[in-house]
Amino acid sequence: MNNRLKFSASPQSLWLLAGLTAFVVLVILTGPLWRSLLVAALIAYLFNPLICSLQNRLRLSRPMTASLVFLVSLLLLAGTVFGISALVVNQVPEWSIELRQAWAELLLLMERPFTILNFTVQPQIVLDYLERASSNAISSLPEAGGGWLGGLADNLIWSLVILVSLYYFMRDGQKIVPGLIHLVPADYQPTARELANGLDNIWRIFLRAQLIIFLVLGVLILASTSLILWLFRQGWLPLSPFGLVILLIGVYAAIQQVDNLWLRPQYMGHALKLHSGVVVVALLAALTFTGLLGALLIVPVLASLKFMFQYFRGEIPAPTPAAAPQPLAEPEFIAEPRPIVAAQPELEPAAERTEEPLNEPQTIALQEE
């Protein structure tokens, strides 16, 4: 018997559709909260294998292991932030000198007219416009200060929400899926478990592929930056500080385009069994309409929708349910025990015997005795 869900135009289906619509509207209205919870859930899902491994090795409870991993992660994050801050503070004087030189070179470049397709462009006009725009921005700075501080306060609040939610997701996140499956009617719980296992497999593949992509991008950025800076310090790149900055920006942009147009579509599409063209279009659309978080999640969401569509269409075979045990039939009549009687051996019919006459000497001897 196949216990997969089937859609129909019943009142229950209409109520389910209305509930889903209301839920989507609620998610849209409370977008920042759900984005924070989603980020926390993804990070907790990423830490879940580590927590399970430490729990088995250290023989600790799940809350204790999750608290240990959470505290160590916070210490590492704080150390990284303070280390980068110290590096930036130490490099600020040198960077300020280089930025002033780059700005002076930019001003000299903007004062020279250049020709494009027989049209002479006067950069001085653009420079005057930038000066007026900057003066207007500076004059309106006191009014915009409240908005800047308000945005900073909002970011701090949502960061705190992410941290608190991350701790509870790490501690009790493994109870969410079994709890949701328990809410499903008993007849459809096997279907819910199959869907949960399939979706869990998809997201595990996605996170593994995402980590590999981040590692490749990190190696490319670190190697290219180190090579460019080494060539610049050796004098093999006759560039000004402004030209060096432009070169670095161009290299980073090229690496990003390689990631968006080739690396991520090819590798992620192959891992999740999606066409590379679909991945490219989905990434560009999500990056345009939803930002970085949407571009990060659009590929596994498409893979999850594809899996659910194939599952409900029957393209993914469901395991055959085990047959229910049949109850034992009660005997209608119980006979009384009979006494056990030993079986008598059957005697073969005796053959007629013919007495042979004794010999005469033997007969005489018997008579004398």
Instruction: State the burial class of residue 202 (Cβ atoms within 10 Å of its Cβ: 0-12, 13-18, 19+).
Output: buried
Q: Estimate to the nearest angstrom the gap between the alpha carbon of 152 and the chain centroid.
A: 29
Q: What's residue 70's pLDDT? A: 93
Q: What's residue 326's pLDDT? A: 45
Whether residue 362 is predicted with pLDDT greater than 70 in this model: the reply is no
The DSSP symbol for 187 reads G
Q: What's residue 123's pLDDT? A: 65
Distance CA 306, CA 273 (A): 10
Most confident among 109-123, 285-299, 317-331 (mean pLDDT): 285-299
Do 62 and 179 fall into the same domain? yes
pTM for the model: 0.62
Bridge-partner residues for 114, per DSSP? 121
Query: What is the CB neighbour count within 10 angstroms for residue 335?
Result: 6
Q: Would you say 115 and 121 are in contact if contact means Cβ atoms under 8 Å apart?
A: yes
Do 164 and 189 fall into the same domain? no
Do 159 and 192 fall into the same domain? no
Name 105's Cβ contacts closer than 8 Å, sequence gap at least 6: 240, 242
Q: What's residue 249's pLDDT? A: 87
- Assigned domain for 368 exists: no
Do 63 and 76 fall into the same domain? yes
Do 171 and 33 fall into the same domain? yes
- Residue range 238-250: average pLDDT? 80
Q: Which residue has the tokens 């608190």?
A: 164
- Residue range 144-162: average pLDDT? 71
Q: What's residue 219's pLDDT? A: 92
Q: Would you say 274 and 268 are in contact if contact means Cβ atoms under 8 Å apart?
A: yes
Whether residue 230 is predicted with pLDDT greater than 50 in this model: the reply is yes
- Assigned domain for 328 exists: no
Do 37 and 166 fall into the same domain? yes
Distance CA 293, CA 180 (A): 25
Do 118 and 208 fall into the same domain? no
Whether residue 147 is predicted with pLDDT greater than 80 in this model: the reply is no
Q: What's residue 236's pLDDT? A: 85
Residue 192 domain boundaries: 185-315
Do 130 and 223 fall into the same domain? no
Whether residue 290 is predicted with pLDDT greater than 60 in this model: the reply is yes
Bridge-partner residues for 365, per DSSP? none
Q: What's residue 67's pLDDT? A: 93
Distance CA 51, CA 60 (A): 10
Distance CA 292, CA 286 (A): 8
Q: Which residue has the tokens 């560009």?
A: 284
Q: What's residue 294's pLDDT? A: 84
- Residue range 209-225: average pLDDT? 90
Residue 348 or residue 37, greater confidence: 37
- Residue range 193-205: average pLDDT? 90
- Assigned domain for 336 exists: no
- Assigned domain for 109 exists: yes
Do 45 and 172 fall into the same domain? yes
Average pLDDT over the chain, rounded to an integer = 76
Distance CA 279, CA 262 (A): 10
- Assigned domain for 335 exists: no
Do 108 and 210 fall into the same domain? no
Strand-strand pairing, 119-121 and 114-116: antiparallel
Q: What's residue 145's pLDDT? A: 44
Do 306 and 191 fall into the same domain? yes
Q: Please provide the distance, in angstroms rounded to a whole number, between the alpha carbons at the two ends of the chain.
A: 100
Q: What's residue 269's pLDDT? A: 87
Residue 352 or residue 188, greater confidence: 188
Name 32's Cβ contacts closer than 8 Å, sequence gap at least 6: 154, 158
Whether residue 61 is predicted with pLDDT greater than 50 in this model: the reply is yes
- Range with lowest mean pLDDT among 32-36, 173-177, 342-346: 342-346
Q: What is the pLDDT of residues 299-357, one digit of tens each?
A: 899 999 999 888 888 766 554 444 444 444 444 444 455 555 555 555 555 444 444 44
Q: What is the pLDDT of residues 247-277, one digit of tens each?
A: 888 899 899 888 888 888 888 888 888 888 8
- Residue range 240-249: average pLDDT? 79
Do 173 and 249 fall into the same domain? no
- Range with lowest mean pLDDT among 115-124, 235-244, 282-291: 115-124
Q: What's residue 248's pLDDT? A: 87
Strand (E) or helix (H) holding 188: none
Query: What is the CB neighbour count within 10 angstroms for residue 76?
Result: 10
Residue 303 or residue 11, greater confidence: 303
Q: Where are the beta strands (DSSP E) in 90-233?
A: 114-116, 119-121
- Assigned domain for 329 exists: no
- Residue range 90-107: average pLDDT? 70
- Assigned domain for 369 exists: no
Q: What's residue 9's pLDDT? A: 55
Query: End of a domain among 290, 315, 340?
Result: 315
How many domains, the chain? 2
